[in-house]
Structure 1
Amino acid sequence: MQYGYFDQKAHEYVITRPDTPTPWINYIGSGKYGGIVSNTGGGYSFHKDPRNRRLTRYRYNNVPMDRPGRYIYIRDVATGEYWNPGYQPVQRKLDSYSCRHGMGYTVLEGEYKAISSQVTYFVPDDMDFEIWLVKVKNLGHAPRSLQIFSYSEFCFWDAVKDQQNVDWVQQINQGRYEDGIITWHPHEYKNTCSFFATSEEINSYDTNLESFIGKYRSEANPIAVEMGACANSISYRMNGVGAFCIDVNLSPNEEREMIFILGFTENKASIRNDISKYLDVNEAKAAFSRLNKSWEEYINKVQVQTPDDDMNLFLNVWNQYQCKTTFNWSRFVSLYQLGLGRGMGIRDSAQDTLGVMHSIPSEARELIKKLIHCQYTDGRIYHLFFPLTGEGGFGDAPVKKFDWYSDDHLWLILAVNSYIKETGDFEFLNCSILYNDDTTEATVMEHLDNAMNFTYNHKGPNGLALAGRADWNDTLNLDVGKGIAESVFSSMLYCRAALEMVEIAKYMKLEQSVEKYTNMYEEMKKAINESSWDGEWYKRAFDDEGNVLGSKENEFGKIFINSQSWAIISLIASKEKAKICLESVNKYLNTKYGIVSVYPAYKEFDESKGGITTYPPGAKENGGIFLHTNPWVMIAETIMGNGDMAYKYYEQILPARRNNDADLLEVEPYVYCQNVLGKEHPQFGIGRNSWLTGTSAWNYVAATQYILGIRPEYESLTVDPCIPSNWKGFKATREFRGCTYNIEVRNPDGVCRGVKRIIVDGVETDRIPIKPKGTTCDCLIIM
């Protein structure tokens, strides 16, 4: 069944019925003030940090689902009937409904008995508040008297304590009203507060949630709406709400627009001044236009025209949009990760920079600096951090002998080299950044060197990287106290990182460093090939007893995906072994919805393997389709020149391909999800954990840099496609260091890989040079 469609001209996904299988959400804000908005108005808001500065409340995994949210109620004074433009929470059947999710905004539209209504939610100009732009119109032939009610349920800023220390929280929070503004704050704070305001003259208000809802009622039937007036309540304790009642009289064909603003401030006295401009409808609309323009500028750094319309749709709009959202919030805050304990993942955020490096390299650099600051002086690193406080965190994997993950620190190297290639900013390597002790300082290059040294100094019996608490697979918890468990994946990632360090050192003419990292690479490459080749694939790990995982000798967990793709990405596999690895992936792991993480899945819990065996067969890391891993196989296929296979793997997980299959997929078809239930699960094909996933950045990298082959280098732009053999070519524009490159690729011989000629501005050459900022460059590539 289909629940919506892509409006390609407007860059929107339009949902045409409210009863989606799961809440289909969008994000507003740019990474400072943010919020989640569902297709029925559900969701919540936060400022900088959803754990430590939550503004509004949300009831997770709740029945009824997706409550509460940002609600507008419309009440007909004559009949007493009331409804919501977005269907929830009243659930009045509307005569028409739509939700339009765009880049940084959501519009809910509903019509009921000749009254049309529209609510647009967005954050203007990167401010510390959001706007609700409301429009109601009388489509009938008689005058109508209406009342508009707002609803925003406040949360104690510490979202964990809001759930766990109810007595204290409900005793200290205070709600006040003055001149069209409701404020909400703990008793001890005099200037800092959450607030809710309106542009309109009000009939009445409530700051106390219980007064607005009434006893033994819910958001579906608030007593204030039913009775046609708020109680002008002041909240001296209990729970808070931003609720206004506004009278609206409409002649036939007349419409009325109004503004509501929800936000946060550290200076209560400045609220009126800060929001006054945006309370004007025309100014709010101008801010909305600026928001749209800023997103257009963001996505226009890369635009493609391939023979695949869905690929174009995602690479030009939705994949880029999702990459920015994951960059903003890592895996911290969604409807699946609740913004409470997880924080911003170090490895996650480092990988997320890869998906936005082409468009916002300066912002990526600042995030990389924050990540580097999380490093210990011995080279390891926090597993996560909280953006408001800078506090480090350690994740959920059990701690036995070690308190670190074996891969986290190594991702810094890939992120830094990506930044340098995009910008040419080698001076960044000399930038001094403190370690997490806030005392010891080192250059970026020294931090990266220390990351390499940490893995070099922590090897196991086979000369492989010790596994620590886990590697990229957080659920593979092999350390049970002996401290000898080894990760083949982290060893391969270490090899990839060593090659990146060699590349940097060669360019900087650091001969001793080139020799050092080359030796590191060769030593680990040898150790992997001597210990971990299993005949048809590479083994995955060795546990704390020295037993192998990912081998033919295992009953379950015979073959894992990551040690096959990364054997090729790290260049440790010979051409023959690489070919066999990829054949094994297709034979044993591939399905119509994507490549599973391991096969066959583990059937029972096994303490020696940890969290992976807590999942039933076919779920998540235990034989599920963990989509983050799939683009690594795409990249491996392009390295081997297999454009047809790389594209096959790309299109089979492309969300737009499942727009007509939404009842099975269940999650949003306009963004990637983290996981899909695998072939060994009875509900094969269901997706979960949408939006905040490394799938987004890596699919963007796999598609643009490896399938289309457009990659930045230190002194040039490479275009080396690996495309389906039936493509006749493609076109792209790529802004690189201020120059706009107009790229056309022609494939007259129907090959997957191989560039015969490069013609730049009409002149044949052997590479595409860096052109001056502000210029354009026409590039013709003949395969």
Structure 2
Amino acid sequence: MPNLARFRKPRPSGAVLSNGNYWSALSENGTGVAFFRLGEGWVQTYGWRPDVVDDVLGWLFYLRDRRSGLTWSAAPAPRPHANARYRFRRRLGVASIECWTGELHTQLEGWVDSPLPREFRHLVVRNLSRRVLEIDVTTYLEVVLFPFASFGAHPAFAKLFVQTAWLPERLCLVAHRRPRSSEERWPVLFLAARGSAPVEYETDRMSFIGRGRDLRCPRALASTSPLSGTVGNVLDPVLSMRQVLTLQPGETAELEFVCGVVADEGALEEGLGRDWGTSQREESLKTARARQQELLRVAGLRFHEARRAEELAVSLLYQVPDLRSSMTAPETKRAAAVRAQLGLDTSRRLVVADDGEQAPWWIAASRYWQAVGLPIDVLLARAQGDSVVVRRADVQHGAGDHAAHLSNEDYRALLALADGCDKHGAASARGRGQRRNVETLRVGSSREEPAQPAVEFWNGFGGFGREGKEYVVRLREGHLPPLPWVNVIANPEFGCLVSERGIGFTWSQNSREFRLTAWSNDPVVDPPSECLYLRDESTGEFWSLLPAPCGSGVFEVTHGQGFTRWVNEREEIISTATCFVPPDARVRVVWVQLVNQSSRPRRCSLWAYHRLVLGAEPWAEGRYVVTDFDAQAGILWARNPQVALFEGRVVFAALGPATPWIRTVGAGDRVWFLGLGGSLKSPRVLQRSGLGHGPVGAGRDPAAILAGEFILEPGQRWEGAVLLGEAESELQGRQWVERYRQPASWSGGLQATAEFWSRRLSPLQVETPWRDLDMLVNHWLLYQTTSCRLWGRSAFYQSGGAYGFRDQLQDACALLWSHPSETRAQILLHAAHQFPEGDVLHWWHPPWEKGTRTRFSDDLLWLPAVTAWYVAFTGDRGILDELGPFVRARSLRPGEDEAYLPVQRTADCVTLYEHCCRAIDRSLTSGQHGLPLMGTGDWNDGMNRVGREGKGESVWLGFFLAEVLARFLPFCEARGDQDRVQRYRAYREKLVRALETHGWDGAWYRRAYFDDGTPLGSAENAECQIDALVQAWAVLSGVASPQRAERALKAVEEKLVDPEAKLIRLLAPPFDRAPQDPGYIKGYVPGVRENGGQYTHAAIWVVQAFFRAGLRNRAAELFRYLLPTEHSTDFAGAERYKVEPYVVAADIYGADPHRGRGGWTWYTGSAGWLYRLVVETLLGITLEEGRVLMINPSLPTHWPGFRVRWQVPGVGDVYHVRVEQVNAGPMRQSTEAWLDGKPLPASQGTVRVPLVLDGKEHEVVIHWVQPEQTKNSGK
């Protein structure tokens, strides 16, 4: 058992202010967090994260001298004054931070009111100078109103449900979270200013911070321009106010702000208070002091003892590494056993302390923390023979009567799991700096920008290069794309996400569960988790080789398939950094090339920084990472024994080449590199001279930091590389380092990567009258589908890591033209995640078997649907006889909509045919209208409450099920499965009648029926009168008569198509205030994602339906809406659309002020469906059972024709198809076709081309005549 001693004061520390139901932790830096009690849990009030380095969040206060432009914060964070002195004080009931700048003195006081859930800030500003000062005072906080872990897992999603408003009569900003169900009740967050001074306000985070900036230097403080006054559906909500003070010499001004929560806006009067002045403030302070006295009495602490407890609590909340044990975290099973034995909650902070003379203080501190509301547990430990006795510090009885006896191994495991342990020297032995960095970058000038490369479709930010294979973005300082324009670079097991500014994060195996570095999900700041710096050792100047964090000048950024390249010139050094992932290794390579343009030798050092996670979240798993640096081999190793199924695996980082360096160093400690309160723009270590090793080991804020020193001669081209990878063992890791640190592997590896992607994407190439369409089809859509959707399963706005049952099945269909074997494998993989009852895992995390069981009604049907499409395309009926297991898990309990469960594979296997039939069998349900039951969602996950009680019906599901049955019945007939043939045929006949009887609303098809029988998607609805999805599938399934199909599509035109914004809304009007509760879709602000925006997946089906109905010209016009290039044709369009023009967005917002703005990009099944829409519908090329190429285009009349080159997968045959659209006339009444010069028959516009399969190239020429009845259809 280690020698235990007292805690020493760590940094950051601070104060905790509380009334028992609302607590606020205020650090001495002025940052911090607040939580309020809601039911049985606690909800985070405003933005904060437990990060001792990037500590810039909380309820912040800025000051700005309007004459000089100097800006600083009233506390040391986020922007300390370079010449200021700060002092933090804690008094009974209140905490304060004072700042002296020479000309100004400020005192910021904070306290929590009692009993209301609100806190105050009182700012006193005094002019110490001899001149009149005009000072802007700006306060800022980021809206959360959500549980901490849920918000941190996916912030971009959580923010979509928040709306803001300004109440001028109360000088008050409010934010409310729209409920995702009728049972949810979220309070209203408010921020109000006291007094009568004019107030500016802002609630849009992008407007306040500015793209690519951060809270140390936000755009809102860069000038005297007023705050924009933006409120409403802001997508990324903050609450910010500004007041302008004019102070005569010696004059003092006071400002007061209050922030808190109330049940609803009707309760604001009580929350704000009717009158406010000195007497009311003193009364509030008096109640705050009295409340703290009561907390001290309950805990049995004196005030100075409580101060010590609060300082320690703040440090524990921040997860200060100095408080932890240096012991390596135990393997997962031992850790789980220890947690279970002691009943530990992983969401709470844990302290292990000596059960000796200090035990009474720890018991009292634990009682105090419990009364305050802090999530901190204390365990007291003492040695007893060969074991350690551990007991909980019980807040009610002094100490718990129940004690646990742990072995020394288990006790060491406990220490490693603890956020704090009373081990001697833990808080100070590592000698880390405690001064907040003031950014004083030593930088030089940048050269003139190079000539602009020739690109196509230039929009002011970027354009396509190299025949569309690349997208080139041109960055100048202060001129970034409106949102991150990214590249998802992956192979089946490994990948990284990069933006135009730098490297976002890297993963292995699973992009959520095993991130090597941190994912940000922050499109405003877009902070990199991996950085490359170059330092001139003679001058000390340093800069980043990528735009973020501290690059400057002009950057030319090129995204390509499998790589991204940044080119820049700085200080007479031209740098090229190329990031790529080889197709066959779990390694990310950044190849660095430098050219010395000067006439003098340059002594330089290259620095690589990676913020390590080795799990999902830095604050959850990152703390268990153990690092080690092998100085002889120049490899930094990292392990995390706490990540299940990745035990024994290693992460490695290294520099290449191995030998030409003057010296190389490594470190594993982020705090050592950046400093407490440090910044990636000015790392503390880079502000020192020379290179030296840094600390490694356990219990730190983990990072992989490498540096190498070298000489760059005049005119010399120098090459190096930075490697980051993951391996099954250290031996494999060394082999990969040895392979990829060789210079030949950089150019060779990049070329091999390019050739790999060229082979994958080249089997089918098109040439049409639309140049942008050609580039998307030939180079980007399949790349997006493969690299992001199938392999990476991650992007900037969403990082799931899981397989979705319906999702990747549909994605894999796009591979039929190039890699049908992968489609086949995907089908069998999904079949093996079906339960014997027929339902399936909605999604699951590879490589272990754990996923979500739900009551969704459509997931399971995509298995027979995709299987039928696959067999019809390939003719591979043998797949139906492939054997595969099921998964088993407990059934959902009554009233339980879903459950995240571990599953086991069954020993029994059945054929794929049987898997498909069990999915169909389970789906043959029927409600009161004869339509299939909707369950807790069909295709639209957000409609999860329409049929939650088991009675609601889905009209869309009826059309989809009719299509599935029609396609799958021939397989049943061929196998002689007469029972199913009869049941399926009879069910389908009844279903079609029900769809036409109860699905039709009079002018279009309804969407569904609620559990109570009320229709949805009907003219009688105030919201969601019409839904595009069901109109499209009424046509695509062939169920709708031509007359009803025409009327349904006409309704889509009139009610859902927006020609000005070039989008097709999913539904209209959006859900907002109507009494029906369709599900969490109603929680989205109107016009966002499925709730009234364009959901591109469905929009593609709408366009396909227009083609199917013969409305080819109009379909082609609507088709243009689907292309990202159509929304970014010029600078204004790119500014409005904001997201990447080279990949498909999942959604486009459909309501002001965001109408026409692209939503979440990359991670969307729309890419695969758009690819299929082009090839199989617009160009009309399909394959019949692997033997006959079917060609029946749906061309608009203005197209002269198109060309297609297709290489048959697995064989050498190449078919060159040339289609020329010709007018019918006396000499040509119908389509004519030739194969290698020999005539081919054509029937009703369809040409059948039998595949020769002789390994040769073949030419197909078609003179295509539109069928007379559809030739002039559409507009």
How many Å apart are 1:762 and its aligned residue?
2.2
User: Does the 8 Å contact 1:561/1:598 carry over to 2?
Assistant: yes
1:609 aligns with 2:1078: yes
Task: Map residues 312-391 of structure 1 onto 2, 5 A cutoff.
Answer: 312-329=774-791, 332-339=793-800, 343-391=802-850
Alignment match, 2:1103: 634
Give the direction of change, closer, same or farther, for the CA distance of 1:245–1:7 in structure 2 (3 Å limit): same
Distance in structure 2 (CA, Å) of the matches to 1:600 and 1:194 = 50
Residue deviations 1:459-490, cap 9 Å, x none? 21111111111011111123465310111111
Q: Calculate the aligned-residue CA RMSD, in Å.
A: 2.2
CA contact (8 A) 1:170 1:238 kept: yes
Contact 1:75 1:228 (8 Å CA) reproduced: no
Residues 360-386 of structure 1: CA deviation (Å, up to 9, x unaligned): 211222222111111111221111011
* 8 Å Cα contact 1:541/1:548 also seen in 2: yes
Secondary structure at 1:435's aligned position in 2?
strand
C-alpha separation between the residues in 2 aligned to 1:233 and 1:82? 19
Are 1:757 and 2:1225 an aligned pair? no
Partner Cα separation in structure 2 for residue 717 and residue 566 of structure 1 = 25
CA contact (8 A) 1:137 1:256 kept: yes
User: Rg bigger for which structure?
Assistant: 2
- The TM-score with structure 2 as length reference comes to 0.58
2:933 equivalent among 466, 473, 486: 466
State the 1:603 CA deviation: 2.5
Q: Secondary structure at the match of 1:88?
A: coil
Match of 2:639 among 164, 181, 185: 185
Counterpart residue number, 1:548:
1015
Among 858, 877, 883, the alignment partner of 1:432 is 883
Q: CA deviation at 1:421?
A: 3.4
Counterpart in 2 of 1:419? 870
Deviations 1:701-759 (A, max 9, x none): 111100100111114111110011111111111233533221111111189xx962332
Amino acid corresponding to residue 97 of structure 1 in structure 2: F
Question: Which runs of no fewer than 5 residues in structure 2 stay unpaired?
Answer: 1-458, 889-904, 1242-1247, 1265-1275
Measured against aligned partners, the alpha-carbon deviations of 1:584-609 in whole angstroms (never above 9, x if no partner) come to: 11111001321001111223275621
How has the CA–CA distance of structure 1 residues 257 and 304 changed in structure 2, closer, same or farther, with 3 Å as cutoff?
A: same
C-alpha distance in 1 between matches for 2:648 and 2:1083: 47
Distance 1:548 1:60, change over 3 A: same
Shifted more, 123-132 versus 762-771: the winner is 762-771
**What do residues 254-290 of structure 1 show as CA deviations (whole Å, max 9, x unaligned)?**
1100122100112113322233122111122112111
2:769 equivalent in structure 1: 307
2:861 pairs with 1:410: yes
For the residues of structure 1 that align with 2:700 and 2:523, how far apart are their CA atoms? 21
Contact persistence 1:329–1:344 (CA under 8 A): no
Residue 106 of structure 1 pairs with residue 564 of structure 2: yes
Aligned CA distance change for structure 1 residues 479 and 780 (closer, same or farther; 3 Å): same
Aligned counterpart, 1:290: 752
Q: 446-455 vs 77-86, which deviates more?
A: 77-86
Q: Within 1, Cα distance between the matches of 2:641 and 2:1046?
A: 66
Q: Does structure 1 residue 269 correspond to structure 2 residue 743?
A: no
Aligned amino acid, residue 745 of structure 1:
V
Pairwise CA distance, 1:346: 0.8
Q: Distance in 1 between matches of 2:1230 and 2:872?
A: 22
Q: How many residues align?
A: 760
Equivalent of 2:912, from 439, 444, 465?
444
Could you tell me which of 647, 654, 657 is aligned with 1:197? 654
Q: Specify the SS of the correspondent of 1:565.
A: helix
Equivalent residue number for residue 8 of structure 1? 466
What do residues 411-450 of structure 1 show as CA deviations (whole Å, max 9, x unaligned)? 1123222322343221111001111122242111111111
1:597-622, CA deviations, whole angstroms, 9 ceiling, x for partnerless residues? Answer: 11112232756211121122211111
Matched, 1:76 2:536: yes
Specify the SS of the correspondent of 1:295: helix
Contact 1:177 1:207 in 2 (8 A): no
Alpha-carbon separation, structure 1, partners of 2:802 and 2:736: 30
**Post-superposition shift, 1:111?**
1.0
- Give the aligned residue type for 1:186: N
Counterpart Cα distance in 2 of 1:158 and 1:242: 15
- 2:1223 partner letter: D
Q: 1:223 to 1:655 in 2, by over 3 A?
A: same
| 2:636 is equivalent to residue 212 of structure 1 | no
Instruction: Measure how far apart 1:191 and its partner are.
Output: 4.4
Q: Which amino acid aligns with 2:826?
A: L
Q: Does 1:710 align with 2:1163?
A: no
Tell me the CA shift for residue 776 of structure 1: 2.6
CA contact (8 A) 1:734 1:740 kept: yes
- SS of the residue corresponding to residue 233 of structure 1 reads coil
Matches within 5 A, 1:576-725: 576-592=1043-1059, 593-604=1062-1073, 606=1075, 608-659=1077-1128, 660=1130, 661-678=1133-1150, 680-714=1151-1185, 715-725=1187-1197
What does residue range 145-184 of structure 1 map to in structure 2 within 5 Å?
Answer: 145-155=603-613, 157-160=614-617, 162-164=618-620, 169-170=622-623, 173-178=626-631, 179-184=633-638
- Residue equivalent to 2:493: 32
The whole-number CA distance in structure 2 between the counterparts of 1:757 and 1:506 is 36
Q: Provide the rounded CA distance (Å) in 1 between the counterparts of 2:911 and 2:1143.
A: 37
- State the one-letter code of the partner of 2:1159: R
Deviations 1:186-222 (A, max 9, x none): 3679842111011243342222111111222121111
| Higher share in strand | 2
C-alpha contact (below 8 Å) 1:191/1:268 kept by paired residues? no
Structure 1 SS opposite 2:569? strand
Identity %: 27
1:240 correspondence with 2:702: yes
1:62 offset after TM fit, Å? 7.5
Q: 3-state DSSP class of the match of 2:751? A: helix
The question of 1:496 aligning with 2:963 is answered: yes
Secondary structure, counterpart of 1:689 in structure 2: coil
Match of 2:1214 in 1: 740
**Alpha-carbon distance in structure 2 between the residues aligned to 1:319 and 1:145:** 45
Task: Indicate yes or no: 2:555 matched with 1:97.
Answer: yes
**Aligned CA distance change for structure 1 residues 58 and 52 (closer, same or farther; 3 Å):** closer
Q: Secondary structure of 1:730's partner?
A: strand
Change (3 A) 1:376 1:676: same
Say if 1:357 and 1:606 are closer, same or farther in 2 by CA, change over 3 A. Answer: farther
Query: After the TM superposition, which of the residue ranges 316-325 and 554-563 deviates more from structure 2?
Result: 316-325
Find the counterpart in structure 2 of residue 66 from structure 1. Answer: 526
Contact 1:374–1:392 (8 Å) recurs in 2: no
Conserved? CA contact 1:34–1:45, under 8 Å: yes
Q: State the partner residue of 1:397.
A: none
Asked whether the equivalents of residues 626 and 675 of structure 1 are also in contact (C-alpha less than 8 Å), the reply is yes
Relative contact order (C-alpha < 8 Å, sep 6+): which is higher? Answer: 1
User: Following TM superposition, by how much is the alpha carbon of 1:770 offset from its aligned partner in structure 2, in angstroms?
Assistant: 2.4
The TM-score normalised by the length of structure 1 is: 0.93
Distance across 2 between alignment mates of 1:77 and 1:32: 39
Q: How far did residue 33 of structure 1 move? A: 0.8
Contact 2:1224/2:1230 (8 A) holds in 1: no
Return the alpha-carbon distance in structure 1 between the equivalents of residues 1085 and 625 of structure 2: 44
The alpha carbon displacement at 1:521 in A equals 2.6
Structure 2 match to 1:399: none
Alignment correspondent of 1:400: none
Contact residue 491 and residue 583 of structure 2 kept, 8 A: no
Give the Cα separation in 1 of the matches to 2:468 and 2:1039.
Answer: 46
- Cα distance, 1:657 vs. partner? 2.0
| Distance (Å, rounded) in 2 between the aligned partners of 1:324 and 1:698 | 13
Matched, 1:570 2:1037: yes
Q: Contact 1:757 / 1:782 at 8 angstroms: preserved in 2?
A: yes
